[in-house]
């Protein structure tokens, strides 16, 4: 059984034909051509497929594509401001060496974006709490937490537009 | 995942009708955080998936100081976690909703889904049972209300028929002088299944314990209420000795198994520690 879905993908209206048993994750990667969202565990445990759906952080592997009909979706590709300009979170992940193999990084950055949208000045504990659904097997979490903390600090200094 | 037919009914009647046409081979979809994993792992292979999200009224989240809390089938764990009302009146449930999985999962997973999944380690069941919650069930013969106690019959099994939907969970309003605690024990704070969970709901009146629910998670095939432990404190002054005796009675009553997360002996010991700790914390809240 196939169905046509209409959704807003990183600000752009899109119409996609999907099989009902297709996950949103596979749809984003295969039909949407957005391969920044990664497929790790595929059962909601690793966070590498983290996206923002209707303002809420979710695992794209645990959402059926048909459920995204009418939804507004933001993926890692929608966080970068333009081809030439990175988001401050991305800048700080580079600056602090918060990525090694990089597979988990899109999920972490999307989760951090959702956190800072909700809570612009989180404590270290709040950052760690918000990132608990994202797993990194290379770097450890210290540099990731530092990068998010620094972004929040910059945002405080430069005003909210920094994000 | 095997292919299936997919529907988004707009009413309970339509949903039940679809399930009957599908001869009970359908699965209800609310949060989907368990269903999708089970379909991917071929634990469940439904012929049709019936998404409940378009049914009006199932997103109810309502508290009244007389009638209590009413949570619809679509209310997510994260909604409870971030609700000041839930923290104020249902602290155990709010804790349970905070302590499970990740924000990503809690933004989708529903409380009613956690109930219907009937996992022995389900986090929301002990606090709801300790509060004497009940469930509204809609089926072909109309709507019935049943006590949550007795709803889960075995791991993953409930009294629910395939063409029935749990539409709401109802939790009585707390009496004055009530404190609630849920303690979850695991190897880490988040992304963890409970090794042991203990919920306490305790009401004090004139220096004595006038109402008490003690419910244990992950130490029996279904969450276990322990009346033998409650009886040691009910209508009594909650002295240190009585609290310790109740904790020992809880450990005596549980039926843990050994598995990858812990041995039966360790679980039993932790039941005693956590029951004692939960009772002490509840009494401290009321001091």
B29: domain CATH number? 3.30.43.10
What CATH number should be reported for the domain holding residue B72? 3.30.465.10
Q: What is the pLDDT of residue A83?
A: 84
Q: Identify the domain boundary among B115, B147, B171.
A: B171
Looking at the structure, do residues B10 and B25 belong to the same domain, yes or no? yes
**Which residue stretches of chain B are H helix?**
12-21, 35-40, 77-81, 84-89, 91-98, 103-106, 111-117, 125-130, 227-231, 240-253, 264-286
Name the helix (H) or strand (E) containing B10: none
- Best to test chain A binding among B6, B76, B81, B102 (most A CBs inside 10 Å): B102
Average pLDDT of adjacent 10-residue blocks, chain A of 163 residues = 96 97 98 97 98 98 98 96 91 96 98 96 97 94 97 86 52
Which residues does B144 contact at the CB level (< 8 Å), separation at least 6? Answer: B136, B137
Q: Last residue of some domain: B132, B154, B171?
A: B171
CA distance A53 to chain B (A): 10
* B104 contacts on A by Cβ (under 8 Å): 44, 47, 50, 57-59, 62, 111, 133
pLDDT at B23: 86
Contacts of A134 in chain B (CB under 8 A): 102
Contact A21 B102 (CB under 8 A): no
**Residue of A42, A45, A50 lying closest to B40 (CB–CB):** A42
pLDDT at residue number A163: 53
The C-alpha atoms of residue B142 and residue B137 are separated, in whole angstroms, by: 8
Q: Does the residue B116 lie in any domain? A: yes
- For chain B, which residues score pLDDT lower than 50? none
Dmax (CA) of chain B? 61
According to the model, what pLDDT value does residue A156 have?
Answer: 87
Same structural domain for residues B74 and B128?
Answer: yes
Q: What pLDDT does A139 receive? A: 83
Is position B141 within any domain? Answer: yes
**Looking only at Cα atoms, what is the longest distance across chain A?**
52
Q: How far apart are CA B7 and CA A155, in angstroms?
A: 44
Same domain, B139 and B209: no
pLDDT at residue B79 in the model: 98
**Is B185 in the same domain as B164?**
no
Could you tell me if B149 and B231 lie in one domain? no
Its CATH class, for the domain covering A88-162, is mainly alpha
Assess whether B24 and B75 both reside in one domain: no
Angstrom CA distances, B149 to B6, B126, B145, B213, stand at: 32, 10, 12, 12
Contact A20 B6 (CB under 8 A): yes
Q: Would you call A14 an interface residue with chain B, using a CB distance cutoff of 8 Å? A: no
Q: Do A2-78 and A88-162 share a fold?
A: no
Domain residue limits at B31? 5-51
Say yes or no: B99 and B13 in one domain. no
Q: Are residues B43 and B101 in the same domain?
A: no
Supply the Cα-derived Rg of chain B in whole angstroms.
Answer: 19
**What's the pLDDT at B189?**
86
Which of B6, B36, B78 is nearest residue A66 as measured by Cβ atoms? B6
Q: Facing residues of A73 across strands?
A: A9, A53
A28/B86 Cα distance (integer angstroms): 36
A-B Cβ pairs (cutoff 8 Å, strict): 87
Question: Using one digit for the tens of pLDDT, what is the confidence trace for B95-119?
Answer: 999 999 999 999 999 999 999 999 9
Query: What gap in Å lies between CA B70 and CA B64, rounded to an integer?
Result: 9
Residue B56 located in a structural domain = no
Predicted local distance difference test score (pLDDT) of residue A137: 93
- Count of structural domains, chain B: 3
Q: Per-residue DSSP letters for A66-91?
A: GGGTT-EEE-GGGTS-BTTB--HHHH
Residues B35 and B121 in one domain: no
Query: B22 lies in a domain?
Result: yes
Is A56 an 8 Å CB contact of chain B? yes
Position A161 scores a pLDDT of 55
What is the pLDDT at residue A81?
81
- Name residue, tokens 């009909």: A69
The pLDDT value recorded for residue B186 is: 93
Q: At which of B171, B193, B226 does a domain end?
A: B171
Nearest CA in chain B to A67: B51
- Cross-chain residue pair B191–A19, CB shorter than 8 Å: no
- If asked whether residues B256 and B206 sit together in one domain, one would say yes
- CB pair distance less than 8 Å for A130 and B103: yes
- In CATH, the number for domain A2-78 is 3.10.20.30
B227 plus B269 within the same structural domain: yes
Nearest residue of B to residue A22 by CA position?
B1
**B5 with A111: Cβ contact below 8 A:** no
Helix/strand/coil for A24: helix
Same domain, B89 and B191: no
Q: Is residue B212 part of a domain?
A: yes
Domain boundaries, chain A: 2-78, 88-162
Residue B152 included in any domain: yes
């Amino acid at each position: 059984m196939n169905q046509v879905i209409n959704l807003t993908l990183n600000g752009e209206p899109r119409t996609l034909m999907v099989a009902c048993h297709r996950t949103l994750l596979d749809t984003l990667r295969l039909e949407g051509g957005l391969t920044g969202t990664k497929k790790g565990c595929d059962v909601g445990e690793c966070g590498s497929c983290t996206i923002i759906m209707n303002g809420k952080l979710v695992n794209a592997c645990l959402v059926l594509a048909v459920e995204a009909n009418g939804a507004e979706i933001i993926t890692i590709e929608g966080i970068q401001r333009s081809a030439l300009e990175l988001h401050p979170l991305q800048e700080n992940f580079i600056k602090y060496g918060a990525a090694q193999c990089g597979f988990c990084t899109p999920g972490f950055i999307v989760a951090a974006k959702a956190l800072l949208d909700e809570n612009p000045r989180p404590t270290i504990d709040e950052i760690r709490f918000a990132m608990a659904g994202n797993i990194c097997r290379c770097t450890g979490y210290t540099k990731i937490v530092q990068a998010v903390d620094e972004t929040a600090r910059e945002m405080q200094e430069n005003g909210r537009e920094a994000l | 995942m095997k292919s299936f037919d997919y529907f988004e009914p707009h009413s309970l009647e339509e949903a039940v009708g679809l399930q009957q046409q599908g001869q009970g081979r359908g699965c209800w979809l609310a949060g989907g955080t368990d269903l999708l994993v089970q379909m991917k792992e071929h634990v469940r292979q439904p012929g049709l998936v019936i998404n409940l999200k378009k049914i009006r009224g199932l997103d109810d989240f309502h508290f009244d100081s007389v009638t209590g809390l009413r949570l619809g089938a679509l209310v997510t764990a994260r909604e409870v976690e971030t609700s000041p009302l839930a923290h104020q009146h249902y602290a155990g449930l709010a804790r349970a909703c905070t302590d499970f999985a990740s924000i990503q999962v809690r933004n989708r997973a529903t409380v009613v889904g956690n109930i219907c999944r009937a996992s022995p380690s389900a986090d929301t069941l002990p606090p709801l049972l300790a509060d004497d919650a009940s469930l509204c069930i809609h089926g072909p013969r109309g709507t019935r209300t049943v006590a949550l106690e007795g709803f889960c019959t075995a791991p993953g099994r409930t009294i629910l028929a395939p063409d029935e939907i749990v539409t709401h969970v109802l939790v009585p309003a707390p009496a004055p002088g009530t404190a609630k605690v849920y303690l979850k024990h695991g190897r880490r704070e988040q992304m963890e299944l409970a090794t042991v969970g203990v919920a306490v709901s305790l009401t004090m009146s004139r220096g004595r314990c006038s109402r008490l629910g003690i419910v244990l998670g992950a130490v029996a095939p279904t969450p276990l209420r322990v009346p033998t432990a409650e009886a040691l404190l009910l209508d009594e002054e909650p002295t240190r000795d009585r609290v310790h005796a109740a904790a020992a009675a809880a450990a005596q009553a549980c039926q843990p198994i050994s598995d990858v997360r812990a041995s039966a002996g360790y679980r039993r010991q932790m039941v005693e520690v956590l029951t004692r700790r939960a009772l002490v914390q509840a009494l401290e809240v009321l001091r």
